[in-house]
Structure 1
Amino acid sequence: MDPVKRSLYSLHFTVMLLGGTALFSQVIPLSAYDITVGRAIFGCIFLFCLVKLTGETWSLNSTKDYFIGTVLGVIMTLHWVTYFAAMQYAGVSVGIIALFTFPVITVFLEPLIDKVKLAWQDVISVIVVFMGIILIVPEVSLENDITLGVLVGVLSAFLYALRNIAHRQYFSQYSGIKGMYFQTLIISLCSIWFASDAFWSMDTHTLGLLVLLGTLFTAVPHAMVAACLRHLRAKTFSLVACMQPFYGVVLAIIVLNETPRWQTLIGGILVISAAIYETIHTQKQATTTPE
């Protein structure tokens, strides 16, 4: 098979695995925080092995990089906790759609950091996303779990966008596997001290689910992304990544028997359409901007 086609198929499988992480918020009988602890620990162990297998050293280049990596790890800790919390409050379908407001949030954050002017097309994207969120939210009340889940999901999206921007600017000199390994190490070190009694007394079934989440659904996809990018353009990866909510919703329907409301589906289409547009628009700007 042509390596480009093989990489494309692998990328879709990778994105499906990443979309499947949301399912664990419902099937693991632990809090969002404890799930984050387990995911980080087992993901870190697996990624450390991958780093050694690829011949890389586990150490970073400078004290400054250790500081930056630690900050990124703390942001990722908060992102993962709010990610699983959003799913537990609102369900997988709503939570994962709320998370994918991050491409549009990124559009608003980047001008503040890069000091560039915000385009009018980006404002329209934000309006479209806002309309999608309005459709998803059943009522404006924090006493409603779905509304609370949407707000927590958008907060998670903000943290994810912030982490991605900071990673690209200050930590991109490291491979994806090594960068993610160090961040999961920080997440583990930050969070393990505050794990609940339920985490330490979990049964073997719950332990197995956490191992599965940390390895097959976390470490493996990040390794596969690095491999796929050898044959695919970054634009292709970004566009396929926008399929994650679709895969997540489909898996939630099949595995968890979720039945999303029609408002959720339409709102999701609006949010994902804006995400796809911003992905294409950003890539066009990158290719037309002189070095």
Structure 2
Amino acid sequence: MPNVKLQNYFHLHFIVFVWGFTAILGELISIEALPLVWYRMLLASGFIYVYIAFRKISLVISRKLFFTLFFAGIIIALHWITFFAAIKVSNVSITLATLSTGAFFTAILEPIFYKRKLIWYEVFFGLLVITGLYIIFNVEGDYSLGIMYALCSAFLSAVFSLINGKVAQQHNPSMVSFYELLSGVGIITVYLLGGTFFGSRVDGFTVSFFQLSTSDWIYIMILASVCTAYAFIGSVQVMKYLSPYTVMLTINLEPVYGIVLAFMIFGESEKMSPQFYYGALLIIGTVILNGIFKNAKKRKTKSTLHNITK
């Protein structure tokens, strides 16, 4: 079992690296956040369905589970919309660093979801991550809108992680991912249809909505297949073995991976200051400390149980 957990921990880090590249694609794709997420979820749900059909995975679920996955799909859709909106109005670095606050949100929400006491070091580590965020960026200019979008995205990511933390323990990750993505794209479709037929402030489905450049199609295909279908199933799978807080705290490495990639690809527009390295080290150190504390706690629990059963 320890080896299985270690394998899943390394797998999670690779998935987080892939997610870091998601922000790069969000910057490269020229369309706005809402249609971008619609294309992403539609294509990703199609890729996952092909995988499900190939593996002959059952899609029969209870009504209660369907509504749970439907709600989770709405949450992940809103998370991605606010995430890409933050990139569009600010930049990759601001967006990814602000997402680090997800650990703090998870530390507060997890005791409510799992009906357990608040653990002091989880809150402390969450605050360390926020401190790391503050150190990384002494924000210049007016990035307040981008930061607000990113904070909303971080909160929604924490909620989604907690919902999936429960669901992943009992159900197939491919099936879970398929229903969540399909639900998300379904809600966005209804919203866009409202703009199409009722003349709301949303443009809705127009001819230009489906007229994408070749580069946009290529980037969206990569986003939907590797960064969504694969990473989505993988992230649900690792939740079978890792706690939601560990998952969320590890995801705080996404800014590190993403900002390094952004600097390599976009150059001066994503140039990092020395404060970035201080903040990045604080975030990485927090992830390591979290693992040390949790392992120590588990060893203590096992030792106590062993002594009782003697």
With the shorter chain as reference, the TM-score category is 0.7 to 0.9
Per-residue deviation at 1:116? 2.7
* TM-score using structure 1 length: 0.81
SS of 2:56's equivalent in the other structure is coil
Per-residue deviation at 1:139? 5.2
State the partner residue of 1:253. Answer: 263
RMSD of aligned Cα (Å): 3.3
Distance 2:110 2:236 in 1: 24
State the partner residue of 2:142. Answer: 144
Verify: 1:190 aligned to 2:191, yes or no: no
SS of 1:256's equivalent in the other structure is helix
Task: For structure 2, list consecutive stretches of 5 or more residues without a partner in the other structure.
Answer: 193-203, 306-310
Q: Is the 8 A contact 2:96 2:255 kept in 1?
A: yes
Q: Is the 8 A contact 1:104 1:274 kept in 2?
A: no
Per-residue deviation at 1:206? 1.6
Mapping for residues 158-177 of structure 1, pairs under 5 Å:
158-170=155-167, 172-177=169-174
Distance 2:177 2:43 in 1: 13
Distance verdict in 2 for CA 1:185–1:281, change over 3 Å: farther
SS of 2:130's equivalent in the other structure is helix
Distance 1:78 1:67 in 2: 17
Seq. identity, %: 24
Distance 1:52 1:229 in 2: 23
Distance 1:161 1:28 in 2: 26
State the partner residue of 1:269. Answer: 281
What code does the residue aligned with 1:220 have? Y
Task: For structure 1, list consecutive stretches of 5 or more residues without a partner in the other structure.
Answer: none
Per-residue deviation at 1:41? 0.8
Per-residue deviation at 1:261? 2.9
State the partner residue of 2:230. Answer: 220
SS of 1:101's equivalent in the other structure is helix
Distance 1:52 1:71 in 2: 24
Per-residue deviation at 1:55? 1.6
Per-residue deviation at 1:9? 7.3
SS of 2:31's equivalent in the other structure is coil
Mapping for residues 6-25 of structure 1, pairs under 5 Å:
13-25=14-26
Higher mean Cα deviation, 94-103 or 198-207?
A: 198-207
Distance 1:214 1:69 in 2: 19
Q: Is the 8 A contact 1:94 1:136 kept in 2?
A: no
Distance 1:134 1:229 in 2: 29
Q: Is the 8 A contact 1:94 1:264 kept in 2?
A: no
Verify: 1:32 aligned to 2:1, yes or no: no
- How many residues are aligned here? 282
State the partner residue of 1:64. Answer: 64
Q: Is the 8 A contact 1:103 1:279 kept in 2?
A: no
Per-residue deviation at 1:183? 0.8
Distance verdict in 2 for CA 1:228–1:168, change over 3 Å: closer
Q: Is the 8 A contact 2:104 2:123 kept in 1?
A: no
Distance 2:9 2:133 in 1: 31
Distance 2:167 2:266 in 1: 39
What code does the residue aligned with 2:118 have? L
* TM-score using structure 2 length: 0.77
What code does the residue aligned with 2:38 have? V
Q: Deviations over 1:48-93 (max 9, x none)?
A: 1111122202332x11111111100011111111111222233212
Distance 2:239 2:107 in 1: 23
State the partner residue of 2:198. Answer: none
State the partner residue of 2:213. Answer: 203
Q: Deviations over 1:230-278 (max 9, x none)?
A: 9xx648x948655433221221111222212333443343344434434
SS of 2:212's equivalent in the other structure is coil
Per-residue deviation at 1:99? 1.4
Distance verdict in 2 for CA 1:199–1:183, change over 3 Å: same
Q: Is the 8 A contact 1:47 1:219 kept in 2?
A: yes
What code does the residue aligned with 2:272 have? P
What code does the residue aligned with 2:95 have? G
What code does the residue aligned with 1:263 have? Q
Distance verdict in 2 for CA 1:265–1:36, change over 3 Å: farther
